[in-house]
Structures are given as structure tokens and as C-alpha cells.
Chains A and B, each alone.
Chain A
């Protein structure tokens, strides 16, 4: 069994001789990354690598309590410390800024306005209260120690289940009458009635753990202000430079023309680096006040308490079925924990979109409630609601199979949407576009060796451990279904990607994109697509990333959407650019346009190899406007904005094989299979990298990661890297990756997104495998993470013998 799908990687290839422009010579190939050439030399350019002279550094005093009234603040001693330049207190912020703005509001929710510094009351541990700019970070931190803040701790609520109880103290009494910020229902058919009529019903509450996305580079910003020019120049670690520009202008009450944002290399984002955080506003305010560059680099302790968390939710899932295993009703009633405030991207929303998974169920109901607690705000995190609901549904599917005495594979197969059922519209209005879902199930079963396992007389090993296999099928939404869809939800951004293709006199083509380079390899992938659209060598194309001053206004890198939309933009821009190149070359070579083609670094005659003109000459003619057709405008530059008409739905099935010790609960993953489909593959090496990376985050969240809060004090117990266990190289289980390649009919080139898919399936597959291994003990697991201790406790629950 091959352990990976990767084809042999290769250097940027030259165009094959005689290749026509529409022959794909780059798309689909494992071409090595251009990003690597700088990153491997330590020549990346992350925020903190910009070290201007006279730069000041910022430190922040943060509320140490989960909920507290700020009684008084005394900065007089801190002001005396040599090196301290500027101190911002809460009243300064209320005077000079608007409240923090939200890019993706919770639909139907009241606004919860809050400022960059807590106004009178802090709602989570780590919320900024005072900030100081000084000659170095060390001096700024010394000064923070000299700020005297008197807090009156208030009763706190950190438990999601408790905060939604009617008796819970309301955390935002000025806006809300309970701690439920919003409630949204999506439904189709008569799910509740069908559930009542169902011959068999299974249900449980599934608890999904709060985790942190934990990019290796923390957040950071460098801000400088030129008052004469009225220009705020910002370098920031962000996935969305153009959206940061919009938000900074709004919050700082200046025009967007006065803000430039650049993010070149970003050390990982995973959804956590979307939009503006309070510290970004603070650094900008210091810079504006001081007329001096101000830098803030988040330290890891701050990161655990102030960068957005992910996932935490409770899913009350119910499935109704007939005795022969046909599912008649899906009902998911879930609560997602928002923390104290609505961050830029707020709570996860995709649980509601994908709660029914890849199954043909006509009666389905989902209710989302968004709950406020005294914890760090939740934001987007890779998968954004999809891993959460997948855990609940797929674990419950196995319970239904056990209750029916049916094989879990058969149950899935029996209810799965077939290729002829697609496109399929779900209860939430999502349209699954295309694919062969049952094929992924069969491929996973074969790869994991399910038939042999099922046929074995015993699943006990000589050492007493039990073997188990579990499955988890999934649907993943990638990209957005047009701006109309986003508008209905109040989102402050579009579904499109925009970019500029601009030729230069050296014969090269520059692509300017607002997408920053966060590790997703878009610089390589965009150049691959562009090379094929134009029919030229890939190495004449250079991608310039993440600078709002250079690129057209775009959306950004999140929601597995970048390449879906960007490929369309490149296709449109490249087609227009190519046509102009050919028109000018036709004049120069004195032949009809139809006889010309682009190849390598030139335009040549299709049959007469002696007749050609280098691209550098064509581009120069266009740029200087000399030697071009009379009716042709000068310039060789095209900007396009492309909006995909629909979201593309990726899909697949995972299978885990585990060995569990029933005495201790310790277990090992012997193999993990993931079968997935991301449509047309631009670069299989990059796809494998994205899937493996997301899988490891899926394993981390399933098996060990959890932000723990003290029940009494409400404080974060494990907010350091020493105490929060992100997976290491030694923790990776063996992985078998397989894929199908069904091009999506609704996106350019048939591309589906691939960045998040790996996070979705692991938790349920491993849970189901553990429960399968321990079937003789009737073990059931309903909470994450799945630890040996959790299994040990499950083995001692009342239903186990």
C-alpha cells in the first residue's frame, strides 16, 4: 500500500517543445516551491524581521481575572521609568477610537461593542487594560510592572453548559437578557416528527474541547505614522491585509487612503490571524501619538490568553432510523462558546452547513446557539465548525449501527448520497456539487483491511490489547457560495479574489495579490496556474504577496478559498493578457494572430520556427506604447476580480486502526487512512502537505490538546507551551493518504479547497475505532480529547460490565 500520493517533485520545468498554450504543463505536477528558496536560507521576512531604527516596543497590562471590574489605574510610577515614551489608558481609547469591528458577525446577533482597552470591566483573562510604548520590550515590561491596577473580581462563568442556563448571571446585561448571543435554525422537512415516528433513535451530548490554533509565529505588528503625509504604514502577521486596512481605518477613524498594510511572510495562521485585534489598534495609536515606529510582538503567554481559540461546543445530536438502517431524521441542537466578545470572525458557523454530512436524509434540523462566557474570544480555526459536528454525527452513526446490530460500514453505505443524487441541497441550503462518496468509503475500508478485521474470530492480541477499526465520513465546504450568500449573513467581505498581472521589460510577469504567504504555497500554485494559462515558462512569473499598496482589494486567505477564486482571476487576467501579447506580436511578426502561440519566453509562429519574438520585446513595446497596433492602448497589465458562483464541497472518508489496552486505556494508532477529494489538483506535493498538516492538527485536538480552565477561579490552567501539548514529530501516527479526483463543476478548473480537510475526520474515526476495539465492554465516548484516562473512565461507567 503506498503511504502517500505524492509524485516525484521536480524543479520548475521548461515548457515541453511544441506544447500548445492550452496544454497543461504545470498544473497537476509536483513542482518545488519558490517560497522555499528564501525560507530555507533564513531569509523570510516575518514582522519581527523588520527592524527600523528608533523603533519603540509595546507591552500590554492584561486583566489577570476572567471577569473583573477595573476600580482604578495608576500609571504615575510607570511614567517615571527611563525609556517609557507613551502610555495608553482605557479612557484614551474611548476618546480616540471606535469600538473594535467584526468582519463576520454572528447572523441575527446584537453587536457587543468593545474597545481595544477594557472600559470599566474586563470579560476574560488576558483582555488588554493598559499599554505602554518604550525603548525596548524589556523596558515596556518593566513599566507594566509599575502600573497599579485595582481590580474587583466579579463572579465568572467559564462552563458552556452553565452559561446557557436561565439562572446564569448575564455577562452583557446592557445588550442581552441571557448569555445566548444568537440562535439560528436551519431545517428541511419534518425532522422532529420523523424522529418521533422512528423505529430506532440514538442521541447524546457531545462535548468538543477548546483548543488553540497555535501557529509557530505569534501575532505581531509594526506601525508607523507620518503626520504630514497622513499615512499609517503597518506590517503585520495576518491572513487578510486588505481587511485589516479596512478595520484599522474604521476603528482609528481615518480614511482607508491613510492606511497601508503589508504582510509578506506569515508564520502560520490557521484562521487565527484574521482581521484586527485590540493590540493592533494600540500599536497604531502609540505610533500616531509618537511619530515613531512602534512594534508589538506577542509573546507566547499573551498568545494563549488573547489570540482567538477554537472549537469549543456542545452538540446534542439525535438520529432516527428504521429497523433496517435507513436514516429518517437528523437533529443537531448545538451551542458554540464564543468567549467574552465577538472577535473579527466570531463563532464557527459551518457546523450548521455540514451537519448532515454525506448522507441522503430528507428531514433534518439544526439549531445553533452562540453562548457568551468569561473566556478568550473564539475565532476561526481550520475547519471552523466542521470537525466539531463531524465528531458528533459520526460517533453517533456507529452507535446507531451497534444498536441496529448492523455493520457501521453498511449503515454508512446504505445512507450515503450516490453520484447520481448530486447536486444535493441540504437543510441549510448548501448544494453539494459532485463526487463519488461511497467510493471513498470503500477505498478507506480496503486500505485499512476492514474485511480481515471483520472476519477475525477475535480482536484480542496475545498481549491483551484489543484491535479496533473505526470510520468517519465527511463533507467539507470549501470557498464561498458567492457574495449574495455572504451578504445574507452580514459578512463584511466578498467571495472573490482579485489580482493584477503586470508584465515588465525584462520579459517577466509580476502577479500582485493581497493574499499573504502563510505557508499555503499560493506563490507557487498561482505561478503554476498562470504559466499554463499563458503557455509560458513558470520561472518568468513572480508573485508579490500581501501588500495593500501594490495589490487590488481582495478578500484573503481563509475558508479554503484562495485557489478556487484566484485560479479564476488568473484565468481571466491571463487570457486577456495573452490576447494582447498575441496582437502585438502579430504586428511585429507580420502574420495573423491565429498563427502565433506563446512558448517559454517568446511568441512564435506555430509552423515557422524561424519567426518568433521574445516576450521582453513584446512587453517593452506595450509598456512604452511604441510598435503596437494603432487601436491598441499602451501597457501590459490586467486586473481581475473573480467570484466563483458556488462553494465546492470536498468529501471523503477516514479509517483508523487502533490497539487498545482495556486495563489501562492506553492505545496506539496503528494506521490512519484518509481518502479525500479536492477536485483538480494543481500540485500533488502541496496537497499532500496541506492534508498531512491539517491531519496532525486534527490528531492534536482529538488526542491531547485542550485549554483547561479552573472550575473555581475560571483561570486558564495550561496557558504555556510547557503545559499545552501540541503534537511533536514523535507523536505522528502512520498515515495512508489516498484520493479521488472528481473535478468540481462549479469552480474554475474544477478545484476544491484543500487547506482544512485534514482536521475534520480524525476525532470520530479514532473514537469509533476505540469503541470498536472495546465493543465487548460497551464503551462509549462522547467527549474530546480521547485520552487513555478518558477511556479508563469510560470502561468504568455504569453501562460497562
Chain B
């Protein structure tokens, strides 16, 4: 039986810092980042891979961390929302969300920000409809999505193309 005494050490680079933390092998990655690493900007909304609140970057790719076990983070490089600001200021993506009123309660925001960071890093081009489809992996109940979509489109800049 898997219980709290089945543990493993996880070594990873989290937001630029090498860490080594013991965690139960049944703990999922979102709980690990929140409880063992103190990264409470990683939110949890459904633990089923639907809502996208827990989206983080693992080895450069946006993933839903509730669908991963913590032990799968071993030897990985992880980025969370806490790493985005630059020199103490909001980065261009965060600034775009603010200018476009892309957040209200803020609970989904880290998910959108990490997804958008991934989209930027991918270098791919998106029509507005592609972008809306990409962003459908993160739910938001407050904004009606117009603000987040405008913000990400602005951030992607010339990666955005006409349909």
C-alpha cells in the first residue's frame, strides 16, 4: 500500500535554484511545489487536468502539475509564476495582463501566465482562433476571457498572424 512512509528524494532546479526535498511518492507535483517548495502561486482547482490552475513549465514545456507525480520532477527544471518578474518589476507578459484587465480574482492567472510563457517560447505562430483554442486549457470564471486573450496576443507580438 502506498502511504506517507513511501518517500523519495527529489532533486530539481526550481526557478533557478537547485533543491533536494523528500516527498511521499504518491504526492502530486502541484502539492509538492506548493507544500515542499513554498510556491503557493501554483494553484489547484480540479486535480483532474481540466481547469489548468496548476500549469507550470517543466523542462520548457507547460504542463498541468496536478497530473504529474512529484517524483516525475526529479532531475527536471521547473518554472513557476514566481520566476516571471524581472528586476523586481512585472515582466512584459504580466504587464500586458494588467493593462488588459486580464485578471479579476487572480486564481487562474498563474496558469495563464505559464501557458503564455510556453507559447512565447515555442516560437509558433497563432491566429486569434488558434490562440483561443490553446488558452482553453486554462479556465477562468471571472473575466469572460477577453482580457486574458488580448493580453497574451499582445505579448506574443509578431507570433500572432491573421487567419
Of residues 48 to 98 in B, which have CB atoms within 8 Å of A's CB atoms? 48, 50-51, 53, 80-82, 84-85, 90, 94, 97-98
Contacts known (A41-B94, A299-B47, A689-B143); A48 close to B40, Cβ less than 8 A: yes
Q: Are A730 and B48 in contact (CB under 8 A)?
A: no
Q: Which residues of A contact B35 (CB under 8 A)?
A: 51
B32 to chain A, nearest CB (A): 12
Q: How far is the CA of A217 from the CA of B139 in the complex (A)?
A: 11
Contact of B48 among A51, A521, A722 (CB under 8 A): A722
A-B CB pair tally, cutoff 8 Å: 191
Interface string of B135-152 (1 = CB under 8 A from A): 110111111111111000
Q: Are A39 and B34 in contact (CB under 8 A)?
A: no
Q: Which residues of A contact B85 (CB under 8 A)?
A: 41
Which of A36, A518, A519 has the most chain B CB within a 10 Å cutoff? Answer: A36
Q: Does A787 contact B (CB under 8 A)?
A: no
Q: Which residues of B contact A32 (CB under 8 A)?
A: 98-99
Q: Are A732 and B106 in contact (CB under 8 A)?
A: no
Q: Which residues of B contact A556 (CB under 8 A)?
A: none
Q: How far is the CA of A9 from the CA of B51 in the complex (A)?
A: 29
Q: Which residues of B contact A686 (CB under 8 A)?
A: 101
Q: Are B143 and A693 in contact (CB under 8 A)?
A: yes
Of residues 11 to 50 in A, which have CB atoms within 8 Å of B's CB atoms? 32-33, 35-44, 46, 48-49
Q: Are B136 and A216 in contact (CB under 8 A)?
A: no
Contacts known (A42-B110, A729-B149); A697 close to B141, Cβ less than 8 A: yes
For residue B109, which residue of chain A has the nearest CB?
A: A39
Q: Are B147 and A215 in contact (CB under 8 A)?
A: no
Q: Are B43 and A46 in contact (CB under 8 A)?
A: yes
Q: Does A629 contact B (CB under 8 A)?
A: no
Contact of B105 among A51, A214, A518 (CB under 8 A): A518
Q: Does A679 contact B (CB under 8 A)?
A: no
A contact face: mostly helix, strand, loop, or mixed: loop
Q: Are B39 and A42 in contact (CB under 8 A)?
A: yes
Q: Does B108 contact A (CB under 8 A)?
A: yes
Q: Are A728 and B139 in contact (CB under 8 A)?
A: yes
For residue B53, which residue of chain A has the nearest CB?
A: A216
Q: Which residues of A contact B38 (CB under 8 A)?
A: 51
Which of B82, B99, B100 has the most chain A CB within a 10 Å cutoff? Answer: B99
Q: Are B98 and A721 in contact (CB under 8 A)?
A: no
Q: How far is the CA of A696 from the CA of B149 in the complex (A)?
A: 14
B103 to chain A, nearest CB (A): 6
Q: Does A520 contact B (CB under 8 A)?
A: yes
Of residues 101 to 154 in B, which have CB atoms within 8 Å of A's CB atoms? 101, 103-110, 113, 129, 131-133, 135-136, 138-149
Q: Does A69 contact B (CB under 8 A)?
A: no
Q: How far is the CA of A685 from the CA of B131 in the complex (A)?
A: 23
Contacts known (A40-B97, A42-B41, A136-B4); A732 close to B81, Cβ less than 8 A: no
Q: Are A268 and B142 in contact (CB under 8 A)?
A: yes
A214 to chain B, nearest CB (A): 6
Q: Are B101 and A39 in contact (CB under 8 A)?
A: no
Q: Does A333 contact B (CB under 8 A)?
A: no
Q: Are A216 and B140 in contact (CB under 8 A)?
A: yes
Q: How far is the CA of A163 from the CA of B98 in the complex (A)?
A: 49
Which range holds the interface residue count of chain A? Answer: 35 or more
Contact of A43 among B4, B41, B113, B131 (CB under 8 A): B41
Q: Are A36 and B135 in contact (CB under 8 A)?
A: no
Of residues 678 to 728 in A, which have CB atoms within 8 Å of B's CB atoms? 685-686, 688-689, 692-697, 720-722, 726-728
Contacts known (A40-B97, A51-B35); A521 close to B104, Cβ less than 8 A: yes
Q: How far is the CA of A375 from the CA of B98 in the complex (A)?
A: 40
Q: Does A344 contact B (CB under 8 A)?
A: no
Q: Does B12 contact A (CB under 8 A)?
A: no
B140 to chain A, nearest CB (A): 7
Contacts known (A138-B24, A267-B43, A268-B107); A214 close to B141, Cβ less than 8 A: yes
Q: Are B106 and A300 in contact (CB under 8 A)?
A: no
Of residues 168 to 206 in A, which have CB atoms within 8 Å of B's CB atoms? none
Q: Does A135 contact B (CB under 8 A)?
A: yes
Q: How far is the CA of A40 from the CA of B133 in the complex (A)?
A: 22
Q: Which residues of B contact A4 (CB under 8 A)?
A: 146
Contact of A728 among B80, B110, B136, B142 (CB under 8 A): B136
Q: Are A520 and B109 in contact (CB under 8 A)?
A: no
Residues of B bordering A, CB below 8 Å: 3-4, 24, 26-27, 34-35, 38-48, 50-51, 53, 80-82, 84-85, 90, 94, 97-101, 103-110, 113, 129, 131-133, 135-136, 138-149
Q: Lowest 6 A-B CB distances belong to which pairs?
A: A42-B41, A519-B105, A39-B106, A267-B107, A692-B144, A728-B136
A sample of 8 inter-chain contacts (CB < 8 A) reads A33-B98, A44-B107, A138-B27, A213-B141, A215-B105, A520-B104, A685-B101, A694-B144
With A43-B41, A519-B104, A731-B136 given, name 18 new contacts (CB 8 A).
A36-B98, A38-B106, A39-B106, A42-B39, A42-B40, A42-B42, A43-B82, A48-B40, A51-B34, A215-B105, A215-B141, A216-B45, A297-B44, A300-B51, A521-B104, A729-B136, A729-B149, A735-B144
